[in-house]
Structure 1
Amino acid sequence: MAVSVDDFAPDYIGKDVDDVVILGGGLAGLFCALKLSPRPVTVITNAPIGQGASSAWAQGGIAAAISEQDSVEEHRDDTLAAGGGICEPKIVDQMTREGSDRVHDLLSYGVPFDQDLEGRLQLSREAAHSQSRVVRVRGDMAGKAIMDALTTAVRNTPSIRVLEGYIGESFLGEGRYVTGVLVRRRGGISRLAFPAKAVVLASGGVGHLYGLTTNPHEANGHGLAMAARAGAVIADAEFVQFHPTALDVGKDPAPLATEALRGEGALLVDKAGNRFMEGVHRDMELAPRDIVARAIHGQILEGRGAYLDCRQAIGSNFREEFPTVHAAVSAAGIDPEKDLIPVAPAEHYHMGGVLTDANGRTSLDGLWAAGEVASTGAHGANRLASNSLLEAVVFAARIAEDIQGLMPTPRSAFWDKMDDAPGLPSQRNVEERDAISVLRTTLSNNVGVLRDAAGLRTALADIANAEKICVRRSIKNMMISGKIIAAAALKREESRGGHFRKDFPQENPAMAKRSYTSLEEVEAISAEALETA
C-alpha cells in the first residue's frame, strides 16, 4: 500500500499538486516529459539526467522496420519468436507499427543517427532479426547520442523541472490510488514529498542487484520494489536477460561488447581459437541471447574460456566502427586487431517488471510505468536485441497521450521555490554494505544464467537474512526486488527464454503464459524458504 505523507514527516511538501511527476531520468522518462510539453512536468532522478541511465549505455541502437526490404510484420514475428511464446501479440504489433514514427521523433530532437550520402538511415542486423533494422550512431554510440540529444531538449523546455540527485523511496496514496512520490536526497537524510495528479515510474532496471552486470549503479530495482510495496501487480519477474558478451576484464559494471560486433562477423571461440557455436544453434553467433549466454557460460565453467575474435571480420576498422568497445578493451590492455577479447554473460536487462496495459497504466490508479521497470508483454521470455529503446519511446509516448486525454488544459509552468540543500550526511551502515554484497553474490550464483530449486531457495533465505540488518528504505527496496525475481523464478518450473532451470530443462507447454505475482505472495514464498534453509 502507498504511504501517507504523515508517515514520514517529509522536510518539504509541494504546496501545489503537480500535474505529472516522472520518477526516472532515462530514455522513457525524458521522452515522456517532452511528449507532455507544454504541460508542467517534474522529473526526479537519482543521477544527473543522461548520465545514470542504462539507456545512455545502450550500444546497438533502436530496432524499427524502416527499410524497403523490411516490414512491420517481419519485425513483429521476429519479436514474437524471440519471446518464447509468452509475448502479448497485440502489444508487439502496436510497438513495431509505431517504431518508425518514434525514430523520426528522435531525429526531430537532434539524434544524429547514421545516414548515407543520400540521407537514408543506415541499418545494421543483430541476433534473431531476419532483416537489418537497427538504427545506430557511429556503430556503438546510439544510447549516449540519444540521451545527449534528449537531455539538451529537456533542459531547453521551460515546462520541465528536473530535480537531480534524489532517490525514490515510496509512493504516496491510499489503497489503490497513487497521489505522489516520497524521495530522499542522495547522500542525505532529508525527505521530500511531491503530490501529483499522475505519477510515471521510469526508474530503470535491476542490474546492480547482480554481482556481474552491464548496467550503471543506479539500476538497483528501487522502482520495482516501490510499486510492489504499494500493491501493484508484478509480471514476468523471473525473466532476466544476460548479455552473452560482457567484457570479462574485472570491471564493475562490466563494459559491454555490443552484439553488433557479431552482426559484422565476429566469431565466438575458446582459448584455443576453436568456434563453439557450431552445432549449438543454426544461427551460431547470432543465435538468441539466452542460447549464446548459456553456451559461453558452459565454456567458462569447463575451463575453455570464451572470447570474441574480431581480427578478420573487423580488424583495422575496429576503432572507427566501434569506438566505445575499442576504448574499453584498450583500457584493459587488449588490442582487438591482434588479440582475442575475453567475454562472459552479465545481467543486462529485466524483461519483467510492473504490469502495464497498452497505455502504460499499472494496476494502481494514478500510476503509469515505462521503460525497463515496466512489463508490457512486448518482450516475453527473452527480449529481441535493440527492442528495449524501441519499447521505451513507444510506451512513453503512449503514456503522455493517455495522461493528456485525462486532464484538462494544462496550467502554466510554475513551481514554488524549495530548499535544495543536501541535508545532513546519512550514516553509511557498514552492515548494509555487507547486505548488498550478499544480495549481489547470491543472485549471481543462484538466480543467474542457470537456476534450480535448491539455489533459488538459498537465494531467498540469504536475502531475507541480509534484509534484517537493513535500515535505509532504499536498501530494503533492493532486497525486495531481489526476492521478487528469485520467488518468481522458483514458481516457474520449466525453462523458457532467459529463465533456465537445471531441474526443469524443458519448456512446459502448459506454462506458455505470462506470470503474475504480488509482494504478499513473494513474502510468503520467501518465509517458507527461510524456514527450510
Structure 2
Amino acid sequence: MQRYLMNFDTRRMENRQEECLVIGSGVAGLTAACQLARHGHHVLLVVRDTLQDSNTSKAQGGIAASLGKDDNPQLHLADTLVAGAGLSNESVSRMVVTEGLADIRWLAANGAEFDCYADGTLSLGREGCHSRNRIVHSHGDATGAEVARALNEMVAREKNIRTMEGCYVVDLLVHQGRCYGATALWHGKKICLRARHTVLATGGLGRLFQHTTNPDGATGSGMAMAARAGAELADMEFVQFHPTALALAGCPNFLISEAVRGAGAYLLNSEGKRFMPECHPMAELAPRDVVARCIFREMTKAEVSHIWLDARHIENVAEKFPMIAATCREYGVDIAKDLIPIAPAAHYMMGGVHTDIWGRTNIEALYACGEVACTGLQGANRLASNSLLEGLVFGRRVATIIGKTRLPQAEAGLFWREEKLAEESHAGMMADRKASQQILSRYLGIVREAGEMAVGEEKLRELAARYEGCSAASAAELDLRAGLICGDLIFRGAQRRQESRGAHYRSDYPDKDESLRQHFGDRRKVYDEAERFGDENIAAAAVLGMA
C-alpha cells in the first residue's frame, strides 16, 4: 500500500496550525467541534465540499433513543445486540444507548426541533428490529437535515472554531506513532494542516458501489488515509445494504426510509405478493440484512431489477413523510396511490478505523468518530437509527478525552516530504472508477462466494497497479485511489470471514460459525516518517510557520 498519494514537502507549503483539527461535517464532526470549542479549545474544522454536505444531512428516519414511557436503555441495548449479530460490543453499546439520552436533550436545548404531539411529548416512530417506538424524528422524514442545521448554527456561533470548506484532506502526518496533522488540497493548492489533536469524522464509503444512498463525498477517503498512516481498521467486510432505495432507471437511489415500513408499508414481489412474513417473525421490520437478502432473492428469482413497496394503505402517508413524497412525485410516483419501485443499495459501513470507548485510535493524537470509525457499537449489522446516536455520543466523548489528554511538546523542526512519486496523468481515470464500482457491486454485494471474490479481488488489484507509485493529480483521482484501498480491505475481510453473519453473507458458508465470533483487523506497519531541520534552520522555519 502506497504511503502518500501526492508529492509534497511541508517546508515549501503554506502551513496552518491549530490546537485541534476536525475533518468532516456530519453529526460526529460537528458535535466534536462544538464540544471542543465550548470547553475552550481552538478548532480548525475542514470539509471537502461544504459544511452542509454529509450523510447526516441526508438521514431521514431519526435518532434511536429510549425516551418512551414503555421503553428503557436495557431494551434498546437488547435490540442493538440482536441486530449486531453477535459482534456488537456490549459495554460500548450500553454506554451509547444510556449516555445518548442526554446528548439528544443537549441537541434539543441548542435549537434542534423534533416532532412532538400536542401535549409536548415526543412523537416516536418504529423501525426495523426495534421492539419499541423509539425513533426521534423531525419534520416527518427530514431528521438529518434538522440535526445538521442545528449543529451548523452552533458551529457558526463559536468563536473558537475556524472553518475551511473545499478542503480535501489527503494524508495524515505521523512521526513515532503520533499524529501531527495532515496535508490537504484546498481549492487546488497543497497545504499543511498542523494540529496537536486530529479527529477523523469523514463518513462512509457507499460511493464505492454502483447503487448507493450516500452523497458524492462518501468515498472512504478517511478510512484509506488512516490505513496508509498505520491505523488499525476492523470489520471491513460488513457493508450494510439498505433494503429500500428508489429504483427507477436514470434516477438517483433516493432512500425510502425504514420508517415507512415502521408505519405499516408492505414489501411486494414482482407478482404483487407479500413475502416477508414467510422470511422472518418481524416481517418487514426484520433486521436490515435479513430484509435486503430476502428482497435480493425475490429479484433474482424473478430476474427483475426491483420489487415494490406498498404504502397506499397508510393514512395521510404523504403528510407523514413529506420529503419522500415530494421526491417520489418528482419522478412520477405518488406514494399515496402508486406502488414504489425499490431495490437494496449500499448504505452504511459497520467497519472502519478501530477505536476504544473514547474514540482513540492506535495512533497517538488521532481520533475517529461517526461512520469512519469502528467503535464496537454496530457489530455485523447496524440497528436502524443508531448512526446519528453514535455520532452524537462519540463526537462528545472524543472532545472530552482530548480535554483530558496532555501531550508533550512537538519536537522542533519536524517536516514531512514525498518527492519520488511519478507525476503521470491518467486519461482513463473516470472509466477506472466506474469499473471499480462495478467490481465491488458484482463481487462484494449482498451475496458473496470465495471463487467469485477471488476473481473480483484480482480485477481490483489490476486496476490499482495502474496507479501504484504515482502522485494523484485531482480530488477525483484521490477518490478513486481511496476506493481501491478500501475495496481491497473489504475483499480481504470478506475472504477471511468464512461464515455468514449480519450484513456479510456467503453462499459457500451460509451459516454462522461461533468460532469466528471475533473481529478481523488490518494494520500497515509504518516507520518513523518525519525528518528534522538542522538546528540552524529551525528558527527560520518557525518564522515561516513551518516548524
Instruction: Please say whether Structure 1 and Structure 2 have the same fold, judged by a TM-score greater than 0.5.
Output: yes
Provide the identity percentage.
Answer: 37
Q: Provide the rounded CA distance (Å) in 1 between the counterparts of 2:193 and 2:119.
A: 48
For structure 2, which runs of at least 5 residues remain unmatched after alignment?
Answer: 408-422, 527-547
Structure 1 moving runs of 4+ over 3 Å:
1-13, 250-253, 426-430
Q: Provide the rounded CA distance (Å) in 1 between the counterparts of 2:250 and 2:112.
A: 29
2:496 equivalent in structure 1: 491
Say which is worse superposed, 384-393 or 108-117, in terms of deviation: 108-117
Q: Provide the rounded CA distance (Å) in 1 between the counterparts of 2:12 and 2:327.
A: 43
Q: Equivalent residue of 1:223, what SS? A: helix
Say which is worse superposed, 499-508 or 457-466, in terms of deviation: 457-466
8 Å contact from structure 1 (residues 23, 203) kept in 2: yes
User: Which aligned pairs between 1:38-53 and structure 2 lie closer than 5 A?
Assistant: 38-50=40-52, 52-53=53-54
8 Å contact from structure 2 (residues 23, 202) kept in 1: yes
Say which is worse superposed, 512-521 or 102-111, in terms of deviation: 512-521
Q: Equivalent residue of 2:60, what SS? A: coil
Deviation, 1:319, is 2.3
Q: Show CA shifts across 1:164-222 (max 9, x none).
A: 11111100121421110111135x2x211111100000000001011100000100000
8 Å contact from structure 1 (residues 83, 381) kept in 2: yes
Deviation, 1:318, is 2.5
1:80 equivalent in structure 2: 81
2:460 equivalent in structure 1: 463
Q: Provide the rounded CA distance (Å) in 1 between the counterparts of 2:440 and 2:3.
A: 27
Q: Provide the rounded CA distance (Å) in 1 between the counterparts of 2:386 and 2:72.
A: 15
8 Å contact from structure 1 (residues 381, 498) kept in 2: yes
Q: Which amino acid aligns with 2:33?
A: A
Deviation, 1:4, is 12
Q: Provide the rounded CA distance (Å) in 2 between the counterparts of 1:237 and 1:520.
A: 18
Deviation, 1:301, is 1.4
User: Which aligned pairs between 1:48-59 and structure 2 lie closer than 5 A?
Assistant: 48-50=50-52, 52-59=53-60
Give yes or no for the alignment of 1:298 onto 2:303.
no
Q: CA RMSD in A?
A: 2.1
User: Which aligned pairs between 1:89-168 and structure 2 lie closer than 5 A?
Assistant: 89-168=90-169
Deviation, 1:9, is 4.5
1:169 equivalent in structure 2: 170
Give yes or no for the alignment of 1:21 onto 2:26.
no
Q: Provide the rounded CA distance (Å) in 1 between the counterparts of 2:294 and 2:46.
A: 40
Q: Show CA shifts across 1:385-426 (max 9, x none).
A: 000000011001000000011259xxxxxxxxxxxxxxxxx9
Q: Show CA shifts across 1:353-381 (max 9, x none).
A: 00000000001111000000000010100
2:512 equivalent in structure 1: 507
8 Å contact from structure 2 (residues 5, 170) kept in 1: no
Pick closer, same or farther for the CA change 1:6–1:84 going to 2, 3 Å: same
Q: Provide the rounded CA distance (Å) in 2 between the counterparts of 1:5 and 1:469.
A: 15
Q: Equivalent residue of 2:35, what SS? A: helix
For structure 1, which runs of at least 5 residues remain unmatched after alignment?
Answer: 409-425, 522-533
The aligned length equals 498
1:247 equivalent in structure 2: 246
Q: Provide the rounded CA distance (Å) in 2 between the counterparts of 1:4 and 1:225.
A: 10
Deviation, 1:12, is 3.7
Per the normalisation by structure 2, the TM-score is: 0.88
Q: Equivalent residue of 1:14, what SS? A: strand
8 Å contact from structure 1 (residues 46, 167) kept in 2: yes
User: Which aligned pairs between 1:395-406 and structure 2 lie closer than 5 A?
Assistant: 395-406=394-405
8 Å contact from structure 1 (residues 277, 285) kept in 2: yes
User: Which aligned pairs between 1:22-421 and structure 2 lie closer than 5 A?
Assistant: 22-37=22-37, 38-50=40-52, 52-185=53-186, 188=188, 190-250=189-249, 253-303=252-302, 305-314=306-315, 317-407=316-406
8 Å contact from structure 1 (residues 5, 172) kept in 2: no
8 Å contact from structure 1 (residues 2, 174) kept in 2: no
Q: Equivalent residue of 2:278, what SS? A: coil
Q: Provide the rounded CA distance (Å) in 2 between the counterparts of 1:279 and 1:360.
A: 41
Q: Provide the rounded CA distance (Å) in 2 between the counterparts of 1:217 and 1:278.
A: 36
Q: Which amino acid aligns with 1:496?
A: R
Pick closer, same or farther for the CA change 1:253–1:335 going to 2, 3 Å: closer
Q: Which amino acid aligns with 1:32?
A: A
Q: Equivalent residue of 1:448, what SS? A: coil
2:539 equivalent in structure 1: none
Q: Equivalent residue of 1:279, what SS? A: helix
1:450 equivalent in structure 2: 447
Q: Show CA shifts across 1:125-163 (max 9, x none).
A: 111011111100122100011101111211121111110
Give yes or no for the alignment of 1:516 onto 2:521.
yes
8 Å contact from structure 1 (residues 432, 469) kept in 2: no
Pick closer, same or farther for the CA change 1:36–1:119 going to 2, 3 Å: same
Deviation, 1:485, is 1.1
Give yes or no for the alignment of 1:439 onto 2:440.
no
1:527 equivalent in structure 2: none
Q: Provide the rounded CA distance (Å) in 1 between the counterparts of 2:162 and 2:6.
A: 22
